[in-house]
């Protein structure tokens, strides 16, 4: 009977323990920088799907921040508005792609890479149409990628305490994932995940398989593909890319796309990665696989509460001592303490302590989304967040 309890609860215990260890490893502020040449050519690709409302401001901000030797390329992908015209009027290079059968950001980026093939730059960088990077961040990112491997900037949402509490918690969760956990993953596994914006790599590494191009989380898929080929993405701690948080409805739309794609990719790729790593004796890759299995914060909280309920039911049904409940409750408390420490060190600019205590409401707010993903699967289209 004890074996049944262990089999049912061990996955929760392992992932919660790993989450705590990764968060602790990611708490110290540090700069991860790769030394590269400053004399490199680079192109910043901005994939844009119906972004007429923001593309003008984005192009203007980027043009002012571009370091020497770096140019901008806007990909107007399957647009039904004036995205291309607005970008051209700002004086930047624009290419248009119309292919209703192959929709998605991955296809847009592949189209840009093919366009540049006749005169390829040393480095390709990617920035979403609603994002901002300052000149030092762009220089650090391009320099890191120029050293020979994929590079990822710290990808954050701008804190705004005027936003609804649930959007503020989502912004905090975004920071936890893309700053603290990425720092921890870099330290314990020697690699991070690509997050789609604020990423760069040598042009020669940019080619992607058809699976990557068609993936709804093409950034995550490409990072995993590159890592499997021996090119581990690295975090550039002195480069930050910022974007604005959306409305509650827009936040759910974007999370449905990204989290649905993440969960599908995780369940498909992580077990294979862990198994291969164990066979090879590659501990760091196995840790990267464990990171991939840790679900988004709201779902992680829901699963831990479910595990606690399962432990309680098993203890009652099997007439065991209450050690399964004590163990699961202890892990849950430690995980919450780790999140509180993250708030103390990095999160107070994002949310107040009062808003953080609404984390259970945040999990319940997203529960219908997870039920919808379980019923209908991952969205297949490039879903642009409401601005």
Which pTM does this prediction carry? 0.90
**Rg, the chain, Cα only:** 21
Q: At what angle do helices 248-280 and 359-376 cross, to 10 degrees?
A: 70
pLDDT at 313: 86
Per-residue pLDDT tens over the stretch 181-211: 999 999 999 999 999 899 999 998 886 555 5
> Can you give the CATH number for the domain in which 117 is found?
3.90.550.10
> CA separation (Å) from 327 to 9, 171, 312, 335, 338?
10, 30, 11, 12, 17
Residue with tokens 């090879």: 280
Q: Reduced to 3 DSSP states, what percent helix, strand and coil does the chain have, rounded to the nearest 5? A: 55, 10, 30
CA gap 184, 189 in Å, rounded: 8
CB 245 within 8 A of CB 158: yes
Report residues of the chain scoring pLDDT below 70. Answer: 1, 5, 31-38, 207-216, 320, 378-387
Domain count, the chain: 1
Q: Which domain holds residue 164?
A: 1-387
Q: Considering the chain, what is the average pLDDT of its residues?
A: 89
């Amino acid at each position: 009977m004890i074996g049944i309890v262990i089999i049912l609860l061990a996955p929760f215990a392992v992932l919660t323990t790993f989450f705590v260890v990764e968060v602790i490893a990611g708490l110290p502020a540090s700069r991860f920088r790769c030394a590269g040449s400053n004399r490199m050519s680079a192109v910043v690709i901005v994939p844009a799907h119906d972004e007429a409302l923001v593309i003008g401001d984005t192009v203007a901000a980027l043009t002012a921040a571009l370091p020497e030797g770096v140019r901008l390329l806007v990909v107007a992908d399957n647009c039904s508005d004036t995205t291309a015209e607005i970008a051209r009027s700002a004086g930047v290079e624009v290419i248009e792609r119309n292919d209703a059968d192959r929709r998605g950001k991955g296809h847009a980026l592949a189209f840009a890479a093919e366009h540049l093939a006749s005169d390829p730059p040393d480095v390709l960088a990617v920035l979403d149409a609603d994002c901002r990077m300052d000149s030092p961040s762009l220089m650090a990112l391009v320099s890191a990628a120029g050293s020979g491997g994929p590079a990822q900037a710290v990808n954050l949402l701008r804190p705004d305490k005027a936003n609804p509490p649930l959007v503020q918690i989502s912004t905090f969760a975004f920071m936890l994932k893309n700053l603290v956990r990425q720092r921890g993953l870099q330290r314990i596994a020697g690699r991070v995940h690509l997050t789609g914006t604020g990423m760069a790599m040598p042009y020669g590494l940019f080619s992607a398989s058809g699976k990557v191009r068609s993936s709804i989380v093409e950034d995550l898929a490409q990072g995993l593909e590159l890592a499997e080929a021996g090119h581990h993405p690295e975090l550039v701690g002195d480069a930050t890319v910022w974007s604005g948080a959306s409305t509650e409805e827009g936040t759910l739309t974007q999370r449905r796309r990204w989290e649905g794609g993440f969960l599908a990719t995780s369940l498909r790729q992580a077990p294979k990665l862990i198994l291969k790593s164990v066979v090879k004796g590659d501990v760091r890759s196995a840790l990267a696989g464990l990171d991939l299995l840790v679900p988004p914060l709201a779902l992680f909280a829901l699963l831990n509460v479910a595990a606690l309920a399962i432990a309680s039911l098993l203890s009652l049904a099997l007439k065991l001592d209450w050690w399964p409940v004590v163990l699961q409750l202890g892990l849950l408390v430690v995980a919450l303490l780790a999140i509180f420490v993250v708030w103390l060190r990095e999160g107070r600019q994002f949310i107040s302590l009062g808003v953080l205590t609404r984390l259970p409401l945040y999990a319940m707010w997203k529960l219908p989304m997870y039920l919808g993903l379980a019923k209908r699967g991952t969205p297949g289209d490039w879903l642009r967040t409401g601005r």
